[in-house]
Amino acid sequence: MRRQLAIAAASFTAVLGLAACDTEVTSSPDKPAAADDAKPGKEADKAEQAEDKETVAKVGDAITLKGFDGEKVEVTVVKVVDPAKSKDEFMAPEDGNRWLGIQFQLVNKGDKAYQDSPTNGMQVADAEGQMFQTAFGEITAGPALSSDVRLAPGAKALGWVTFDVPKDVKVSQVQVALNSGMADHTGQWTLQ
């Protein structure tokens, strides 16, 4: 009996380990289908070079992310404010830090309702790979993104997310994952 339990536990652990191997990070923006694929000579070469420069998502670009239960949400980094100012005198960044604000738009591209706490799955990073989480605080740039987003198919949410980062750190990217950051698919945008 104990042997069967040990085998079952080992099998379950192996399956979980294999499931975790499917993590995907997307840094390419969504693109509309090309209208004309046949471009002659030098024009085609110039078009290919321009496409290569556009392979990294940046502010204004959208990436469609996948969640655990087939969710599909198009996430766009709309604007960045650095430093961001507190909306009131009671909330402020920690000593030695500043607030960075990023406005996100989420659009449910799936065929069922999407419910999440999206700010749990958002973080910014510098060029060295140091990562910084969201902060609780509203900024003057605009309304905060809800901590409890519920979107019907086709619906959208728009709002600002605040990050608490050291004053001397230059933030270079932002990452977003669905399902409170637990989904295997992560979107990554360059902020420089």
Q: How many domains does the chain have?
A: 1
For residue 118, say if its preceding peptide bond is cis, omega within 30 degrees of 0. no
**Helices (H), ranges, 20-174:** 41-53
Query: Residue for token digits 């949400």?
Result: 73
Give dist(CA 28, CA 172) in Å, integer: 16
Query: Tokens for 71?
Result: 């969710």
Q: Is 120 a member of any domain?
A: yes
Among 20, 100, 114, 21, which residue's Cα sits nearest to residue 64?
114
Q: Is 10 a member of any domain?
A: no
pLDDT digits (tens, 9 = 90+) for 108-164: 999 999 999 999 999 999 999 999 999 998 999 999 999 999 999 999 999 999 999
**Element (DSSP H or E) covering residue 14:** helix 2-19
Q: What is the CATH number of the domain that holds 60?
A: 2.60.40.1240
pLDDT digits (tens, 9 = 90+) for 178-191: 999 999 999 999 99
Q: Is 13 a member of any domain?
A: no
* Amino acid in the structure at residue 66: K
Q: Is 66 a member of any domain?
A: yes
Q: Side-chain half-sphere of 13: how many Cα atoms within 13 Å? A: 6
Query: Residue for token digits 């502010």?
Result: 59
pLDDT digits (tens, 9 = 90+) for 22-74: 667 776 777 643 444 444 555 555 555 555 556 899 999 999 999 998 899 99
Q: Is 78 a member of any domain?
A: yes
Q: Is 135 a member of any domain?
A: yes
Give dist(CA 95, CA 114) in Å, integer: 37
Q: Is 185 a member of any domain?
A: yes
116 close to 179: Cβ distance less than 8 angstroms? yes
Q: Is 39 a member of any domain?
A: no
Q: What are phi and psi of 36, to 5 degrees?
A: -140, 105
> Can you give the residue range of the structural domain that contains 150?
24-29+48-190
